Chains A and B, each alone.
Chain A
Amino acid sequence: MGVAQLMPAWVIVTSVAVGYLLVSLGVGLLSGRNASKGPEGYIAGDRTLGFLILYFVMGASIFSAFAFLGGPGWAYSRGAAAFYILAYGTVGLIPWYAFGPRVAALGRQFGYVTQAELFAHRFQSRWLSAILAIISLAAFVPYLTLQMRGAGYVFNVVTEGRVPEWLGAAIAYGVVVIYVLASGVMGVGWTNTFQGIFMMVLAWGLGLYLPYKLYGGVGAMFTELAAAVPEMLAPPGLDAAGAAWTWGGYGSAIAVSAIGFSLWPHYFMKIYTARSDDVLKKTVIFYPTFQIFLIPILFIGFAGILRYPGVTPNEAILPTILMSMDLPAVVVGLFCAGALAASMSTGDALLHAAGSIMVRDFCCVLYPRKLTDGEQTRLIRILLILISLLAYYFAIVSEVSLVALLLMSYGFLVQIAPVMLSTLYWARSTPQGILAGLVAGCGTVIIFQWFPALQWQQIQPGIFGLLVNLVVLITVSLATRPMDEGHVAQFVVD
């Protein structure tokens, strides 16, 4: 009789998960030793990150708890609608190949560590900086909250309810807060490398094993599905209510996600961390090798359709399948660790960015005198703790549905695209045009979100906002005085 049979399954599962958490903590604490103490080190890693770490920073940050919960969930209940997740990542990061090196060079020249610093300097507007900081915070908090909920949920399900959700979320994010406080972006980077490898192995492992176990193989699975429920395999698939989704809804989900992909402030600021243009370019080129793991993720969801009908909420499908199979507890523990890794690798980047952005782009900009490096990092750490507590409150204590807020934040995010394009490619844009366009765009998003009937063909509010944004940006810019040519020439392509 081995030890494994003497211990209840949930103890083994918890031990494996705790083992993973301890490794994450160790990696996170050790990684910040060599970075400089001020904002350049804490936020931008002294601009020394190499290809491997940047590859995993991007890959792991991008793939959140959604990868193991929502992703399979969408495939399970909405069928081919889930393909949108695979689609937008194919083109989404490519713009970095074009503007990344330029942004990194400007960052080195002017000392930027956040996205808004570039835009605010280009357009000489502190208001722009403050508005973008608020938009970022409003987008990050629900996103972080959902990651915390995901962590708590998984830990609870795999231990058959013995680890309460508040405790699972608190332990996982306690670890995150400690290593982000201690090591800043270097902590995010190295833990993401460890977590990213974990996630990839788990996704490929489960994504190939489950179809094999439940159907005899991927081909056999899809042959059965094609015969039984072909409507699940033909895009655009189903909407949230189970009715047929429109091409407008599906296509605009891809468009909004793809446009916003290169602009999410917590990804964008990683451009400044790259050691060289070559590192940046390789990260963009090789990103699809990470993205492709979404295919086995989708397989998992599809595998549930004909074998585990009626599971709600749809995010529960992967944990439900795993807990119903007679898998060794160690394997279940590894799944738990992988799901925690997915959540934490996104949460750490969000938390780190939220604190950094609020200090650099809001506090520093509005405070009457310049804050010293020491004051900035101290303030970032204080804000980190406050923001994590706020997100935890929403995750565990409050019942508020944040999905609507998160969807709206995607719409706001897309409004940054005209700002980005004008910064580097349109000299004639003016601060008034940029601000007017941004406000008009965000206002349109709010209106279309509040009155869903306005969403023609179920097209995302962000698209309508973008159209309004561009029209306002162009007309107001042309109607106002051009900026100083010498100043603009430092930024725009010539």
Chain B
Amino acid sequence: MRLSPRFFSSKLSATQRRVYRAVTGWFVFVAAAMLWPLYTPFARVRPLVLGMPFSLFWLAFLLVASFGVAFAMYRWESRS
């Protein structure tokens, strides 16, 4: 029996694997970008963007951008 875990099905094509790895990579980046130490340079009060302190704007930006990435992946899946 296989000793190591398997997260992606062996039946996926190379392109599919690449896309899912990239999206996973995006979300790992997002998670890291909300925590120390990656968040630290963005966890500042100024400049105010859209009226919000930059620390809050950064989180809002990650939320909206993640929505975009996930939506794009969903559309790509529906087409292929």
> Are A222 and B67 in contact, CB atoms less than 8 angstroms apart?
no
Closest to A477 in B: B3
> Are B59 and A218 in contact, CB atoms less than 8 angstroms apart?
no
> Are A90 and B63 in contact, CB atoms less than 8 angstroms apart?
yes
* Closest-CB distance, A200 to chain B (whole angstroms): 15
Cβ 8 A contact of B70, one of A250, A285, A428, A478: A285
- Return chain A residues, CB-CB under 8 Å to B5: 421-422, 425-427
Closest to B35 in A: A251
- Return chain A residues, CB-CB under 8 Å to B64: 288, 292
> Are B6 and A83 in contact, CB atoms less than 8 angstroms apart?
no
> Which chain A residues (374-406) contact chain B, with CB distance < 8 Å?
none
> Are A94 and B70 in contact, CB atoms less than 8 angstroms apart?
yes
> Are A235 and B45 in contact, CB atoms less than 8 angstroms apart?
no
- Return chain B residues, CB-CB under 8 Å to A282: 74
> Are A485 and B1 in contact, CB atoms less than 8 angstroms apart?
yes
- What total of chain A residues lie within 8 Å of the partner, measured CB to CB? 54
Q: How far, in whole Å, are A288 and B62 apart by their CA atoms in the complex? A: 10
* Closest-CB distance, A94 to chain B (whole angstroms): 6
| Contact (A217, B74) CB under 8 Å given A230-B45, A235-B39 | no
Q: Mark A223-260, 1 if CB is under 8 A from B, else 0.
A: 10110001001111000000000011011001100100
Cβ 8 A contact of A219, one of B1, B34, B48, B62: B48
A494 within 8 A of B: yes
- Give how many A-B residue pairs fall within 8 Å (CB-CB): 121
Q: How far, in whole Å, are A288 and B64 apart by their CA atoms in the complex? A: 8
- What total of chain B residues lie within 8 Å of the partner, measured CB to CB? 40
Q: How far, in whole Å, are A251 and B3 apart by their CA atoms in the complex? A: 32
> Are B56 and A298 in contact, CB atoms less than 8 angstroms apart?
yes
> Are A427 and B60 in contact, CB atoms less than 8 angstroms apart?
no
| Contact (A292, B60) CB under 8 Å given A247-B36, A494-B10 | yes
Cβ 8 A contact of B53, one of A90, A226, A493: A226
* Closest-CB distance, B11 to chain A (whole angstroms): 8
> Are B7 and A425 in contact, CB atoms less than 8 angstroms apart?
yes
DSSP majority for the A interface?
helix
Q: Mark A270-300, 1 if CB is under 8 A from B, else 0.
A: 0000000000011011101101100100100
> Are A87 and B59 in contact, CB atoms less than 8 angstroms apart?
yes
* Closest-CB distance, A58 to chain B (whole angstroms): 15
Cβ 8 A contact of A91, one of B31, B50, B51: B31
Q: Nearest 7 pairs between A and B by C-beta?
A: A219-B51, A247-B36, A218-B51, A426-B5, A233-B53, A251-B35, A235-B43
Residues of A within 8 A of B (CB): 80, 83, 86-87, 89-91, 94, 97, 217-223, 225-226, 230, 233-236, 247-248, 250-251, 254-255, 258, 281-282, 284-286, 288-289, 291-292, 295, 298, 421-422, 425-428, 478, 482, 485, 488, 492-494
27 contacts between A and B (CB under 8 A): A80-B55, A80-B56, A86-B63, A90-B63, A91-B66, A217-B51, A222-B48, A222-B53, A225-B53, A226-B45, A233-B45, A233-B55, A235-B39, A236-B43, A247-B36, A247-B40, A250-B36, A251-B36, A281-B74, A282-B74, A291-B63, A292-B60, A295-B56, A421-B5, A427-B1, A493-B7, A494-B11
Given contact pairs A86-B56, A286-B67, A428-B1, a sample of 5 additional A-B residue pairs in the complex whose CB atoms are under 8 Å apart:
A83-B59, A86-B63, A91-B34, A285-B67, A427-B5
